[in-house]
Amino acid sequence: MESRGLILFDTPIGSCGIAWQEGRITGVEIGDADEKETGYRLRQRFPEGKISTPPVFVIEAVAKIQALLAGGNPDFGTTPLALQPLPDLNRQVYEIILELKAGETTTYGAIARRLGDVHLSQAVGHALGKNPFPIIVPCHRVLGTNGKVGGFSAAGGVETKLRLLNIERARTTPEADLFGGLPLQARPQSDL
């Protein structure tokens, strides 16, 4: 079996893909209705990879992504990710949001405070925009102030982020709706 490769798979939000190398996931592409487009984006990011039979850790990651997108709450804590080559700040941000469970949200400012400086909010947003592992590293669970959705750099942008939050029944405001559901605001945020 090769030490690197790519796989495409179907999910409730569209075609997704995973790239891996030397026992770690190096990237994830999510949510495109066109499998060819997802494959194209994945090959652009990982030109050395080719579609191949995935190792067990990738098969497990695919199953967890599919479970999450079917409304489950899988634990990605043991999923091996290639975090080492990433900038320190990005890695720290990703490690913080890996602690979030399905349906939990936080804000750019809360992450910046955990990093020791609320003025890092914009840098947190930048790091999330560079997240190579969307869904596994759940950047969609990070919101702006007052429940503003904020941005999302994966395929479909904010619309995909809202779909993910709805699947997880994530609370983005302090008030529940009359039926116990969890309201979402569909306002993109320009300020972090």
Give the closest residue to 49 by CA, choosing from 61, 40, 60.
40
Please list the residues that pair with 9 across neighbouring strands. Answer: 16
Active site residue 139: yes
CB 80 within 8 A of CB 64: no
Given 16, 137, 139, 143, which residue is catalytic?
A: 139
- What values do phi and psi take at 138, rounded to 5? -80, 70
Please give the single-letter amino acid code of residue 31: G
Q: Which residues pair with 8 in a beta bridge?
A: 17
**Active-site residue list:** 139
